[in-house]
Amino acid sequence: MNMKVIATKALFFTLSFFLLLSLLAQHGCSKPRVKKAVYVLVDTSGTYNQQFDKVQIVLRYLLGSLQSSESLALARIDSESFNEKNIIARMTFDSRPSMANAQKRAFLESVEQFGNNIQSSQYTDITGGILQAIEYLNETQATEKRILIFSDLKEDIKKGQVRNFPISFDGIHVVAVNVTKLKSDNVDPREYQKRLEQWSQRVEQGGGYWKVINDLNHLSQIIE
Amino acid sequence: MTFDFWTNIIEGQVMLSLLLWASILIVVMYIARQPAHQIILVLARSLRNALRLMAQSVMLAEKQLRSRNREVLMAQGQEHAERFIEREFQRVETLVNRDLSGYPSLQRDLKEQITRIDEDYVQSSEVPPKPPEWLKAIEAVANIPDNGSPVVAKILNDIHTTLKKALEKDLQEYRLANRNRHGLLKKMMPYWRSLTSSLNSVERKITGLEQRSIIIDSQMQSYEDIRNHGAYAERMLSSSSLTQFFISGLALCLAIIGMYVNFQLVALPMEEMVGAASYLGSSNIRASDISALFIISIEVILGLFLMDAIGITRLFPVIHLLDDHKRKMIFWIMLSFLFIFASIEASLAYMRDMLASDREALSQLLTGVEVAEPPLRWIPSLGQMIMGFILPFVLTFVAIPLESFIHSSRTVSGLFIVWVLHMLVVFIRFIANLIFGIGRMLISFYDLIIFIPLKIESSFKQKNDDKKEEKISGALTHQQETDEGK
């Protein structure tokens, strides 16, 4: 076998190798890599605390959808929501699938424990909860950050608390899930619409994205 | 200059303005008719010639490539024939070493058998009994006339009795001797049979060699044809190369499917080792996928080395040129590595099954559905483990179609490029003719635009010609009349 043949074979192998690499690279680089982080805020005020079964449905869906190295946190909205103590469970799932599965089981257990002992709060500090969520989400360094708010979106803060200031969302998706209507909304439905409009403006002015999902049959839209 | 400028050269008269411009254009075109025609023709001819030149150079390249393909094809065919003949000679060598090496001992056996047969034959030869010495005396006594004497009669009777007894004794001895001879001949039978069997065995061996020599003769004929660059050999090799290309391509496709199955067995458990969230640089390629691909690639490469070490393929000349001992060593090393990798893959396949079960259990927990454990759950686990163990060994055989594919692809790619070049030549020639045709069409179109002045010109020419003809014919008539008057 002469050198020419060897050279041809070497060229063939090299070309094949580069072709394979380029195909892989094309396949791999076709979409930017996504790392998600979801922060779930649950309103525990008297007007909302009966809706936890719906929160559980969404959390189960999220636990099934989120992958290794992605983050999930559950926190309650009460009278003073800008507080680490309000976080019920938070986890960045391990890169090993078996460990991540174990973490998901532990998370689910925490959620069930919390569900059995929900204590109703007097006030509803939604802004405080959102600020806490933004802080957590920024720490995760995820590429897609989402805050899911299970609330009627009626903020009711303690006297003396300052919450009326702009918030920097910086690309965070805020999804209001299962926004319940209050009795007063039935008297004047414009109040409900006004509430949603106010939150939408607040989020979008802060550089975030706003979405409302009331039908839980479309769970996939929550993290899409 | 806007469109309005052209349409308003006569204020408010668009059509008239356009007509004026058209008239000017026609006049200018009529004046420039000859040089315009020449420019179009020269341009078309130049382009056609340039394209023809291009076509010629492409044809030259095609010819050179065709010649190169032929050389490659012949070289491959020659190499293949050499390998075939070499293998046949190896078989002949094996036959000679195995069968004819025992020929001296066979000859010795045959000699011994023949000697024994000869000895037995000699011993079994019949010795005719000698007539008794006293027979003549008895004959003389028997001729004595008895003359009625009782004494003579008694003597003769006694002699007869004695003679009878002697004859009976001789007959018995003769029968005994014959029986012994028959016994000896019977003992010769196995030697004869053994001799026949030995000779048959020799005949079979000689026939095997003869058949091999016929195959070698046929291959030598093909080899000579290839060396002489015969057209028949080229056609055969080309056809064989194409067949090889498609068959090996198909086999490689199947192998790739096998590799994909293998990849699926390994990829998930690799996530457990290198992490599911590790990626290659900034790309979207998972490190676990790359690791799984790497393991499979290593297995394939080990298979290639293994096949080369055995001598089935010749992808790496360095291995092929090593002596038998070293090649054997490489074979065992590669086999050991393959065994280790196969064991690793079997364990990974088992881990995959465990992870899948765990994931399934979590999924059931999250959906709140309780599903009972299916019976005989161990069967798919075992199946995956066996597959994980066997597939690396199966993938070693990829080397065979890969070698065929590489060899045949040289010829096939050459043929394909020749075809492309040929089509390019046809295309260039078509374009050249098209450009020349367009040039001629442009000249006709040019004349079509200025057909009015051309028509006027031709009618003027016609009139002038008529006048000239009249003048000439008038002059001729006048000349004729003058001549007649004279």
Q: What is the pLDDT of residues B137-170, one digit of tens each?
A: 777 776 766 667 777 778 778 877 887 888 888 8
Of B79, B276, B406, the CB nearest to A68: B276
Q: Are B423 and B389 in contact (CB under 8 A)?
A: no
Question: What tokens does B206 get?
Answer: 């000689």
Strand order in the sheet with A36-43: A87-92, A71-77, A36-43, A144-150, A173-177, A209-213
Q: Quick check: A60 and B363 CB within 8 A?
A: no
Together in a domain, A53 and A110 = yes
Mean pLDDT, residues B194-222: 80
| Segments in chain A below pLDDT 50 | 1, 3
Distance CA A185, CA A174 (A): 22
The one-letter code for the residue type at A126 is I
User: According to the model, what pLDDT value does residue A47 have?
Assistant: 65
Q: Could you say which of B317, B359, B365 has the minimum Cβ distance to residue A1?
A: B317
Angle (CA) A124-A126-A131 rounded to 5° is: 140
Domain boundaries, chain B: 3-81+424-485, 84-227, 231-423
Q: Does position B293 have pLDDT exceeding 80, yes or no?
A: yes
* pLDDT value, residue B407: 84
Return the pLDDT at B178: 83
Cα nearest neighbour of A61 on chain B:
B366
Q: What is the mean pLDDT of residues B122-143?
A: 68
The pLDDT value given to residue B432? 94
- Cβ A29–B283 below 8 Å, yes or no? yes
Are A12 and B406 within 8 A, CB to CB? Answer: yes
Look up residue B307 and give its amino acid.
M
Give DSSP secondary structure letters for chain A: --HHHHHHHHHHHHHHHHHHHHHHHHHHHSS----EEEEEEEE-BTTTGGGHHHHHHHHHHHHHH--TT-EEEEEEE-SS-SSGGGEEEEEE--SSHHHHHHHHHHHHHHHHHHHHT---BSSB-HHHHHHHHHHHHHHHT-SEEEEEEES----BPPTT----S----TT-EEEEES-PPPHHHHH-HHHHHHHHHHHHHHHHHTT-EEEEE--GGGGGGT--
In angstroms, what is the C-alpha Rg of chain B?
54
Longest dimension (CA), chain A: 93
B314 to A1: CB separation less than 8 angstroms, yes or no = yes
**Residue B121 to residue B115: CA distance in whole angstroms:** 10
Cα separation, B21 vs A220, whole angstroms: 69
Residues A91 and A138 in one domain: yes
Nearest to B22 by CA among B457, B452, B459: B452
Please judge whether A97 and B365 are an interchain contact, meaning their C-beta atoms are less than 8 angstroms apart: no
Provide mean pLDDT across the span B314-321: 85
Classified as helix, coil or strand, B115 is helix
Of B278, B282, B314, the CB nearest to A95: B278
B196-202: average pLDDT = 80
Which pLDDT score, from 0 to 100, does residue A14 have?
Answer: 57
List, in sequence order, every beta strand (DSSP E) within B30-146: none
d(CA A43, CA A46): 9
Residues B122-136, mean pLDDT to the nearest whole number: 66
Q: Which residues of B touch A12 (CB under 8 A)?
A: 406, 409
**Using the beta-carbon criterion (under 8 Å), do A98 and B367 form an inter-chain contact?**
no
Collapse the DSSP code of B20 into the 3-class scheme (helix H, G, I; strand E, B; otherwise coil) and give the result.
helix
CA distance B393 to chain A (A): 22
Do B366 and A29 lie within an 8 Å CB cutoff? no
Q: CA–CA separation, B280 vs B184, rounded Å? A: 92
Are A19 and A45 part of one and the same domain? no
Longest CA–CA span in chain B (Å) reads: 194
The confidence band for B130, taking pLDDT boundaries of 50, 70 and 90, is: low
Tens of pLDDT, residue by residue over B8-67, are: 777 777 888 888 888 899 999 999 999 999 999 999 999 999 999 999 999 999 999 988
Nearest to A63 among B366, B406, B410 (CB): B366
Complex-level ipTM: 0.74
Among B282, B62, B122, B163, smallest CA distance to A31 is for: B282
B279/A33 touch (CB, cutoff 8 Å), yes or no: yes
Angle, to 10 degrees, between the axis of helix B378-395 and the axis of helix B324-367?
150
Query: Which CATH number characterizes residue A132's domain?
Result: 3.40.50.410
pLDDT of residue B128: 61
CA dihedral of B42, B43, B44, B49, whole degrees rounded to 10: 80
Q: How many CA atoms lie within 13 A of B33 on its CB side?
A: 15
Interface of B with A (CB under 8 A): 79, 268, 271-272, 275-280, 282-285, 314-315, 317, 355, 358-359, 362-363, 365-368, 406, 409-410
Amino acid sitting at position A163: R
**Contacts A219 to B, Cβ<8 Å:** none
The residues near B65 (Cβ < 8 Å, ≥ 6 apart) are: B414, B417, B418, B421
Return the pLDDT at A1: 47
Percent of chain B clearing pLDDT 70 (strictly above) = 95
Task: Please give the backbone phi and psi of residue A145, each rounded to the nearest 5 degrees, phi first.
Answer: -115, 135
Q: B interface mutation test: which of A2, A9, A112 has the most B CBs within 10 A?
A: A9
Predicted model pTM: 0.62
Residues A123 and A146 in one domain: yes
A6 contacts B276? CB cut-off 8 A: no
What total number of domains does chain A contain?
2
Residues A8 and A43 in one domain: no
Query: Is residue A14 domain-shared with residue A42, that is, in the same domain?
Result: no
Range of the domain at A113: 36-221
Name every residue whose Cβ is closer than 8 Å to that of residue B121 and which is 6 or more positions away in sequence. B188
For residues A14 and A46, membership in a common domain is answered with no
**Confidence check: pLDDT of B397 > 80:** yes
Please check whether residues A51 and A107 belong to one and the same domain: yes
Mutate to test the interface with A, among B366, B398, B413, B417 (most CBs of A within 10 A): B366
Q: Do A98 and B355 touch (CB under 8 A)?
A: yes
Shortest CA gap A70–chain B (Å):
9
Highest-scoring range by mean pLDDT, B15-24, B94-103, B287-296, B438-447: B438-447
Residue B392's nearest CA partner among B352, B347, B354 is B347
A111 and A192: one domain?
A: yes
pLDDT bracket for residue B129 (50, 70, 90): low
Contact B284 A12 (CB under 8 A): no
In this prediction, residues B428-446 reach a mean pLDDT of 94
The pLDDT of B333-347, averaged and rounded, is 94
Residues in a beta bridge with A39: A73, A147
Who wins on pLDDT, B97 or B344? B344
- Structure confidence at residue B230 (pLDDT): 75
Residue B250: band (very low, low, confident or very high) from pLDDT cuts 50, 70, 90: very high
Q: Residue B1: which pLDDT band, with cuts at 50, 70 and 90? A: low
**Residue B449 confidence (pLDDT) above 50:** yes
**Residue A43's Cα: distance from chain center in Å?**
15
